[in-house]
Amino acid sequence: MSDTNSNVVWLTQEAYDKLEAELNELKTVGRPEVSARIAAAREEGDLSENGGYHAAREEQGQMEGRIAQLEQLLRQAKVGEPEGHADEVAPGKLITIAYDGDPDDTDTFLLGSREVLAVDDSVEHAVYSPQSPLGAAILGKRIGDEASYEAPNGKTISVKVTAVDVL
């Protein structure tokens, strides 16, 4: 199996650039704006009853969380086409599975990060993480391979990989 590291996030160049621009905006514009609001609210006096101060602090916490999330995502990102054999399930590929071997009960999804949906309008399918029970079960499998995983309700579900495509 080639580079199917489940932590890799495959992104198009456009998606990578959009995430990078969002991160830059948050660091260069968002942080100073929130810091200025916090400083202005502090000058108003009693912080225990200052709604503006608490709202700005909450916004700052959310922004810092998003910055950390984007930094990690961009560190793990690989730009371009997914690696591996053409018929091998890997992050960044469009996968079709048949449930319990039933060719009429199928699902097609992108194996990757949900962040892709936020920045890539061309993705029309659901996105399943390689760390999800289904994603982990089929990672590295090839067309025709079967796998099973445990659903959140405890039921074991069997699937067969029927197609692997690159977006």
Domain ranges in the chain? 9-79, 93-166
Q: What is the pLDDT of residues 91-122, one digit of tens each?
A: 888 899 999 867 788 999 888 776 665 555 55
pTM for the predicted model, two decimal places:
0.60
How many angstroms separate the CA atoms of 34 and 137, rounded?
43
- CB atoms < 10 A from the CB of 89, how many? 26
Indicate the pLDDT class of residue 157, thresholds 50, 70 and 90. very high
CATH class of 93-166: alpha beta
Cα distances from 54 to residues 30, 31, 34, 108, in angstroms, run: 17, 16, 11, 44
Q: Could you say which of 2.130.10.10, 1.10.287.180, 3.40.50.620, 1.10.390.10 is the CATH number of the domain covering 9-79?
A: 1.10.287.180
The H or E element containing residue 9 is strand 9-11
- The token duo for 132 is 């999800």
Whether the pLDDT of residue 72 is over 90: the answer is no
| Inter-residue contact 161 to 149 (CB < 8 Å) | no
- For residues 33 and 114, the answer to whether their CB atoms sit within 8 Å is no
